[in-house]
């Protein structure tokens, strides 16, 4: 599985880019500055570095120069504002950096660059390398919504299981021990709220992130679920990118 290191001191930028990359199925780690990036490179196997140019302590150019000297085979993509572009062209020509992406970046362009570098570095089709070992259990009785979950989550190399009732879902939860649970409230046999109570109170599982995804937008429902320690409450309909974003947020809370 290819691992990408993001280096940026802007939380919103890190969050947006991490969501985009994880949605594609790569593993991603992030740090706020060049010093921490070098520490992480000493400890972990990194396949690609994406770094901002302007950062405190050490700018992206300095970081790229050190990476080139110490880790010759790790490509570095530099993110820069248009006004910085002339300052980094020479470094690009000297091959200190592997590519320049101008802010605000175009998602398709950035993903194309990432695929190109990872495919070249690993010597394999990048699709075969994608694998995110996050076990996601979905409890949903609506057929169309189940179909959407399968298309949103499974192609991105999450390990996915879907239960069509609360009773079946609770049994799978106990035996499979998912990393993240996404659940509707209006489930047959055993309601989603009842499953939530059994998990939090009977099993005393306070740690597994749970996202409620339902058409119910009553304030009392939201409050009752929040009181049982859920991590998110999503009102249907929502997009695949939104649900992946919630999963990413839950992964951050686990880490």
> Band of the pLDDT at 36, cuts 50, 70, 90?
very high
pLDDT computed for residue 129 by the predictor: 42
Break the chain into its structural domains and give their ranges: 3-129, 135-254
Residue 19 vs residue 193, higher pLDDT: 193
Same fold, 3-129 and 135-254: yes
Spell out the residues 6+ positions from residue 8 whose beta carbon is closer than 8 angstroms to its own: 14, 17, 30, 32, 51, 52, 55, 79
Question: By C-alpha distance, which of 104, 159, 134 is closest to 249?
Answer: 134
Confirm if 3 and 29 have CB atoms less than 8 A apart. Answer: yes
pLDDT computed for residue 84 by the predictor: 60
Instruction: Reply yes or no on whether the pLDDT at 29 is more than 60.
Output: yes
From 3.40.50.2300, 3.40.50.300, 3.40.630.30, 3.40.50.970, which CATH number describes the 3-129 domain? 3.40.50.2300
pLDDT computed for residue 125 by the predictor: 42
| 9 SS3 class | coil
Beta strand 3-7 pairing with 135-139: unpaired
Residue 27 phi/psi, 5° resolution? -80, 140
Q: Which of 65-74, 100-109, 223-232 has the highest mean pLDDT?
A: 223-232
CA-to-CA distance for 242 and 182, rounded, in angstroms? 13
Residue-wise pLDDT tens digits, 81-94: 755 666 666 666 66
pLDDT computed for residue 56 by the predictor: 83
| 239 SS3 class | coil
Q: Which CATH superfamily is domain 135-254 in?
A: Response regulator (3.40.50.2300)
Radius of gyration of the chain (CA): 21
In whole angstroms, what separates CA 123 from the centre of its chain? Answer: 24
Residue-wise pLDDT tens digits, 101-146: 888 788 888 888 888 888 866 554 444 444 446 899 999 999 999 9
pLDDT computed for residue 226 by the predictor: 94
* Helix and strand totals (H; E) in the chain: 11, 10
Residue-wise pLDDT tens digits, 98-111: 888 888 788 888 88
How much of the chain, in percent, has pLDDT values that exceed 90?
A: 48
How much of the chain, in percent, has pLDDT values that exceed 70?
A: 86
pTM assigned to the model: 0.60
């Amino acid at each position: 599985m290819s691992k990408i290191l993001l280096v940026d001191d802007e939380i919103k930028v890190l969050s947006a880019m991490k969501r985009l990359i994880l949605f594609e199925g790569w593993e991603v780690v992030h740090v706020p500055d060049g010093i921490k990036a070098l520490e992480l490179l000493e400890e972990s196997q990194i396949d690609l570095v994406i770094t901002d140019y302007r950062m405190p302590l050490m700018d992206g150019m300095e970081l790229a120069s050190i990476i080139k000297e110490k880790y010759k085979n790790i490509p570095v993509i530099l993110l820069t504002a248009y006004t910085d572009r002339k300052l980094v062209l020479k470094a690009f020509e000297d091959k200190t950096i592997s590519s320049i992406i101008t802010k605000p970046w175009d998602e398709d362009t950035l993903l194309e660059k990432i695929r190109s570098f990872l495919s070249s570095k690993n010597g394999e089709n990048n699709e075969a390398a994608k694998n995110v070992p996050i076990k996601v259990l979905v409890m949903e009785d609506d057929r169309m919504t189940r179909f959407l979950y399968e298309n949103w989550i499974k192609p991105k190399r999450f390990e996915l299981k879907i239960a069509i009732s609360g009773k079946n879902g609770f049994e799978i939860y106990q035996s499979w021990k998912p990393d993240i649970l996404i659940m509707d409230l209006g489930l047959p046999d055993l309601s989603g709220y009842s499953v939530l109570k059994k998990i939090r109170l009977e099993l005393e599982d306070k740690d597994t992130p749970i996202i409620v995804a339902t058409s119910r937008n009553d304030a009392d429902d939201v409050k009752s679920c929040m009181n049982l320690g859920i991590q998110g409450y999503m009102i249907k309909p929502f997009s695949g990118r939104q649900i992946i974003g919630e999963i990413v947020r839950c992964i951050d809370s686990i880490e």
